[in-house]
């Protein structure tokens, strides 16, 4: 009797299971992206490279994605790296009254970020190098990491009144997670210092320390008070920006990313977006355009180089205003149209 009863309910059991499966809707992995060309292009690319048998299939080991940070994954007005540098320099400025009138310190103390951006773009970051030497060199890595944590736990974004790591763009967090779910390794490829970004990359972006690429100088390994430590240096500074981004990526990864994201401001991401196009595998370029002065900021590039490169390269340009239903997690979502 029991066996018969068991057998009798089996088909019903199967029916329940099948109904449950049929009722599951495909989940939207990118809910903060408006339906439209950009979102469709992203999901089509990811579907193609992950579908075995597709002519565009890419094995998981070669699914490498790299993203600029400032202006691509979080807000860059102001640049957080410079804010941290200012935070450190201000702490030390009591002992350096001459800094009030002496560049590059004066610019930092006065919050003149354009000075530093110009220094990087047009002067090989020589001022930045001097600041890094003054502010960080000689600290142990542990001391530096503590200072970074203190900064992120203390300082707020001046416009949004949020901790800096909360200014990460919600649509990009979704994109990073979506790529990882689809077997991509996600990398940061930032002009910011590699050690700074590592402190917050995992919690903010889900990006592990070994996948953070950025500006670096040569540290040392030495005994400090009898214990072996990594000590921050300033020698041979490698500024990971513009045409050195492909160099830094190759140094660190040794393969060309198939998905690269950057943004419009100084032309600093043209190099790495171009680099990804030299890959023989299918590849995708995403360029963020800051055109939403209400929810974030609206700014353009004086010479329009990034958008021109996008046009000729067939890159996908994100209009923050139109492509993103929500920019920050602390903000309510617009309705999808």
Q: Is 65 exposed, middle or buried (0-12, 13-18, 19+ CB in 10 A)?
A: buried
Q: Produce one character per residue of 250-260: b if its CB has 16 or more CB atoms within 10 Å, e if not.
A: eebbeebbbbb
Among 41, 92, 243, 300, binds a copy of itself (CB under 8 A): 243
Q: What is the DSSP letter of 161?
A: -
Residues 28-87 interacting with a copy of itself (rule: CB under 8 A) = 61, 64
> Does residue 333 belong to the site contacting a copy of itself (CB under 8 A)?
no
246 binds a copy of itself (CB under 8 A): yes
76 and 70 in contact (C-beta within 8 Å)? yes
Tell me: does residue 312 bind a copy of itself (CB under 8 A).
Answer: no
Question: Is residue 227 a contact residue for a copy of itself (CB under 8 A)?
Answer: yes
Q: Are strands 227-238 and 284-289 parallel, antiparallel or unpaired?
A: unpaired
Q: Report if residue 195 touches a copy of itself, rule: CB under 8 A.
A: yes
Shortest Å, Cβ 304 to a copy of itself:
20
Strands (E), the chain: 64-67, 185-193, 212-224, 227-238, 259-263, 284-289, 316-319
**Binding to a copy of itself (CB under 8 A): which residues in 86-145?**
141
Alpha carbon separation from 240 to 124, 178, 248, 258, 265 (Å, rounded):
11, 26, 6, 19, 16
The site map against a copy of itself for 260-279 (x = CB under 8 A) is -----------x--xx-xx-
From the list 15, 140, 132, the residue with the least C-alpha distance to 85 is 132
- Shortest Cβ 217–a copy of itself spacing (Å): 10
Told to check if 247 binds a copy of itself by CB under 8 A, we report: yes
Q: Between 220 and 333, whose beta carbon lies closer to a copy of itself? A: 220
Q: How far apart are CA 291 and CA 273, in angstroms?
A: 20
Residue 177 binds a copy of itself (CB under 8 A): no
As a whole number of angstroms, the distance between CA 301 and CA 156 comes to 26
**Nearer Cβ to a copy of itself, position 164 or 275?**
275
Task: Kindly state whether residue 320 participates in binding a copy of itself, applying the rule CB under 8 A.
Answer: no
Please, which residues have CB within 8 angstroms of residue 67's CB and are 6 or more apart in sequence? Answer: 73, 172, 176, 186, 187, 188, 189, 260, 261, 262
**Residue placing its CB nearer to a copy of itself in the complex, 151 or 275:** 275
Position among 63, 198, 290, 316 found at the interface with a copy of itself (CB under 8 A): 198
Is residue 219 at the binding interface for a copy of itself, with CB under 8 A as the rule? yes
Residues that bind a copy of itself in the complex, under the rule CB under 8 A: 3, 7, 61, 64, 141, 185, 194-195, 198, 208-210, 212, 216, 218-222, 227-230, 236, 238, 243-247, 250-255, 271, 274-275, 277-278
């Amino acid at each position: 009797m029991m066996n018969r009863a068991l057998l009798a309910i089996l088909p019903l059991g199967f029916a329940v299971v099948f109904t449950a499966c049929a009722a599951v809707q495909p989940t939207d992995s990118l809910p903060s992206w408006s339906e439209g060309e950009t979102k469709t292009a992203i999901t089509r690319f990811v579907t193609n490279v992950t579908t075995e048998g597709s002519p565009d299939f890419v094995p998981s080991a070669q699914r490498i994605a790299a993203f600029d940070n400032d202006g691509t994954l979080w807000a860059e007005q102001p640049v957080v790296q410079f804010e941290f540098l200012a935070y450190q320099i201000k702490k030390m400025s009591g002992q350096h009254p001459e800094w009030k009138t002496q560049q590059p310190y004066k610019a930092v103390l006065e919050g003149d970020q354009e000075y530093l951006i110009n220094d990087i773009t047009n002067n090989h970051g020589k001022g930045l190098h001097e600041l890094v030497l003054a502010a960080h060199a000689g600290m142990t890595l542990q001391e530096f990491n503590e200072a970074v944590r203190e900064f992120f736990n203390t300082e707020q974004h001046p416009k949004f009144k949020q901790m800096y790591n909360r200014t990460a763009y919600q649509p990009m967090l979704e994109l990073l997670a979506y790529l990882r779910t689809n077997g991509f390794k996600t990398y940061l490829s930032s002009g910011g210092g590699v050690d700074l970004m590592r402190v917050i990359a995992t919690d903010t972006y889900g990006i592990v320390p070994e996948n953070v690429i950025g500006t670096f100088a040569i540290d040392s390994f030495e005994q400090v008070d009898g214990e072996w430590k990594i000590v921050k240096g300033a020698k041979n500074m490698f500024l990971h920006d513009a045409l050195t981004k492909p160099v830094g990526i190759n140094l660190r990864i040794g393969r060309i990313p198939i998905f690269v994201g950057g943004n419009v401001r100084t032309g600093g991401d043209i190099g790495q977006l171009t680099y990804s196009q030299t890959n023989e595998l299918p590849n995708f370029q995403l360029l963020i355009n800051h055109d939403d002065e209400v929810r974030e900021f609206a700014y353009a590039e004086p010479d329009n180089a990034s958008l021109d490169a996008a046009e000729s390269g067939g890159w996908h340009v994100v209009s923050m205003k139109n492509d993103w239903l929500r920019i920050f997690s602390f903000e309510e979502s617009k309705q999808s149209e």
